Amino acid sequence: MSSRICGTCSLCCKLLPVVSLSKGANTKCQYQRYSQKGCCKVYNDTNKFPLECGVWSCRWLTKNDTEDMFRPDRVHYVIDTFPDHLTVRDDNTGEEQVWEAVQIWCDPNYPDAHRDPKLRSYLERRAKEHIIGMVRYNSYDSTIIIAPSLNKERRWIEIPNRATNWSKEQLLADAVVKQLYEEKNSDRK
């Protein structure tokens, strides 16, 4: 099986935050460049190249169930190798569940890019593992994606959310939490 290379793609360098560089999400990195020599000016500089960049790759690059998908810069979204987790709480019983979410960093210039049929198929495959989708446009704006097989209406559900800050991303509005909880439980009945 042939391996993949980033080539001229550097979409992750714009869309994802890099804490050690104080680089926010959806912000071009100071070291980003567009060159056939590589898209990072400090890739070979051990003093400047961030550790988090060294240990990270998108799921397209690692072929993590993405064999049929296109390079991120062509489809305008990046599937993060690291998941997020969402705490879902039933206000009546106090019961909590932790949901895994695959993070999809979406270029705000193409806000509907997450509706790519190949990505939807990918999310349906994740749904079989009870993993939902979390589309991120920046550090604050996101949309939860619930696949048809995870809800009783058997349709794609998109729940926009605006968290007040990065640390509160898992504490979503009660209505959203309740909806998620009910949909997952009804699916089990």
R_g over Cα of the chain: 18
Query: Cβ closer to ligand SF4: 40 or 101?
Result: 40
Q: Determine if residue 108 is left, alpha or beta; phi over 0 gives left, psi from -120 to 50 gives alpha, anything else beta.
A: alpha
Rule CB under 6 A: say whether 42 interacts with ligand SF4: yes
Rule CB under 6 A: say whether 172 interacts with ligand SF4: no
Whole-number Cα distances in Å, 105 to 82, 100, 137, 172: 11, 16, 6, 19
Neighbouring-strand partners of residue 18: 23
Residue closest to 182 by CA, chosen among 62, 97, 111: 97
Pick from 11, 69, 135, 147: which binds ligand SF4 (CB under 6 A)? Answer: 11
> Which one of the spans 25-33, 88-96, 123-131, 172-180 is the region binding ligand SF4 (CB under 6 A)?
25-33
Residues 52-71 that bind ligand SF4 (CB under 6 A): 53, 57-58, 60-61, 71
Q: Phi first, then psi: give them for residue 159, nearest 5 degrees.
A: -120, 100
> Which one of the spans 10-18, 113-121, 135-143, 151-159 is the region binding ligand SF4 (CB under 6 A)?
10-18
Residues that bind ligand SF4 (CB under 6 A): 6, 9-13, 18, 29, 31-32, 40, 42, 50, 53, 57-58, 60-61, 71-72, 78
